[in-house]
Structure 1
């Protein structure tokens, strides 16, 4: 059963450890666990209203909520108590939010404001061009030695500004960001690795993903996605920052090494050609596993049994047509195949969410 536009899904987003995702619906809100795919919580429209944006805070009870009826108010929802615990008002509509355990970045029409959690006090501000896409990313590590960066569009076309938010305190002026020229055309998507050491960017052309060293402010590699223009919807690093994946309006998921120029290692379709331009999607890595493979070598009547550890990588694509896809990939064998497919609207027993 295909859902397409009838799924009622208006936006999707993975949490910071990529093990859960939220789905904002015309009829409420749902939160899912990835492995296994189960519904963790849901709210219907009578309980919460229509939600336009939801950002999870890891696997805590906190959900950051923006309602369609009040797009200038950010609220913290405590799912354990099923009640709002704090809110903050802005002068313009909230276009996007990105969070880590202690901070949330709120993308407005011409600024990105960084707030402390859970107090929602403003600690930093970046000015962005008003005609750009609502893009933002933050590094996630809480290690005091790790980079704590925020990335946002700069005023120069195709550029990203990077600012260290570990040195900001409540009520202080923001430090000057560093500007990194990434593309000649407008940015379509970008993301920081969890440790903040790498930045992956894509322009509106969508033919390449570029990786950048955020410390030296230099380009590391250029990863070829394809020769045709494409709208890149999402870019994601795995936890270690060694792999990167992306999805686009071509209906395919691409996977690369994040450590070399000739790094394309897998490509897999996740929607049919007829649906691909209508089905926006989000992608994420959903954990690695190690399996032991026994290999027998018989040379000159001498048989040796070798034990080889194969690392299997799992990545997930969720589309706003309601489809959930999980893939498994082995770098050693270069094999990639789909291990799971579901329609998320059929997960759980509350059919009232189906439009």
Structure 2
């Protein structure tokens, strides 16, 4: 696909109140003032829509790819009271049950047969079947964001909620998640066996941050936990069984409101997005890691350097453009795109994208990102191809293997003659050369926009 003259304009922006992926990112839901709709994530396709009269929704949470959704009233004119969760069967097109609480519902998480509801200072778990059974309830500290996360893979058990103290996380283990229902002929492969129980009793509390939490994220398996705090500079990865800190990533140096963290399905990478409008991608691999680090990081075991110098920075990123700007996606306009005003709020998920060259033998699909903005933008992003090890430089550093890190040859630099007649390299040209090299290195870390579409209109998208 030739993207050289593709552009993004502000044609008929859509006001999306909320967008949610299902646990596998196969589908996503979008709520607007007209109702809600369900889309196939890739290729983008409107599956069904529900126009609701009498009010608006704040959330339409899909239960995997089933016909069941959990609805919350909200927005400018709430359709349901804020203390109710509505179970909606979209095959029937109607409500089938409701859960009522004594206070406003702050957050929801679901998996097959289960729903967890977060209130201001407690979390309640329900078993969802032919009947709805209240399974358990746990107290939390003040949790205005309604933070909670559920592992969704077969046989997973983890429920992560806010702790009673600021910055703490409680880890709760529910009964194992069941296998998905068979929809086709029986498989010839043997049935999947549950994993062996952990050799140690899992920890129940992790003191993750010194300040209040802003996000809790876990992969489908529940083996890891990602946390961020109100400082918005660090993302910490924890082992959910031992409670030990596995990795620590730096999003940036300035304060930000981190909106979310998403693990790649194979747990080799994760992405982070915030109010800065930039999606950052980190690798979780230790061997041959391509995350960027400071030049001084090898000295930290020997010198009392600040912890900043041990930080790992993202190896790739993408800046979400504003819809009000007309942005060319050609390589010549990247510098102008960097000067855009406020970025948009978005939610990001992982998909298995098409292979770079399907005609090649042994080619496999690539992991790609789908970013949904709350003004109706659908972005499919591919990650930069990295080889070798990370080039280490302080602050803004970039992976090697994409751009040569060797200095320009002397014959390529203009020369000025000194009074003695000897030739010296012009300082101005040196500066220009470094700036150009930095610009090339920055471009080599950028995710590539493969496809841009619009969603959120009930009469289609384009």
Q: What TM-score, normalized to structure 1?
A: 0.84
Contact preservation (8 Å) 1:3, 1:321: no
Aligned to 1:161: 170
Aligned equivalents of 2:385, 2:365: Cα separation in 1? 7
Contact preservation (8 Å) 1:64, 1:76: yes
Are 2:206 and 1:180 equivalent residues in the alignment? yes
Aligned to 1:301: none
Return the structure number with greater strand share. Answer: 1
Secondary structure, counterpart of 2:61 in structure 1: strand
Q: What TM-score, normalized to structure 2?
A: 0.65
1:1-355 correspondence to structure 2 within 5 Å:
1-2=9-10, 7-46=14-53, 49-67=55-73, 68=78, 69-118=80-129, 119-143=131-155, 147-166=156-175, 178-260=204-286, 263=291, 264-272=314-322, 273-276=340-343, 279-290=344-355, 309=363, 312-329=366-383, 331-332=385-386, 336-346=447-457, 348-349=458-459
Show structure 2 runs of 5+ residues with no match.
1-8, 178-201, 292-313, 323-339, 388-401, 403-443
Contact preservation (8 Å) 1:132, 1:153: no
Aligned equivalents of 1:109, 1:259: Cα separation in 2? 36
In the alignment of these two chains, the number of paired residues is 326
1:292 shift after superposition: 6.0
1:274 shift after superposition: 2.1
Contact preservation (8 Å) 1:198, 1:211: yes
Q: Which digits, 9 at most, give the CA deviation of each residue in 1:43-62, with x for residues without a partner? A: 1232x741121110111111
Aligned equivalents of 2:263, 2:256: Cα separation in 1? 20
1:133 shift after superposition: 2.2
Structure 1 residues 3 and 198, CA gap change in structure 2 (3 angstroms) = farther
Aligned equivalents of 1:16, 1:111: Cα separation in 2? 23
1:330 shift after superposition: 5.2
Show structure 1 runs of 5+ residues with no match.
169-175, 295-305
1:288 shift after superposition: 4.8
Contact preservation (8 Å) 2:25, 2:351: yes
Aligned equivalents of 2:232, 2:268: Cα separation in 1? 21
1:289 shift after superposition: 5.0
Aligned equivalents of 1:293, 1:345: Cα separation in 2? 31
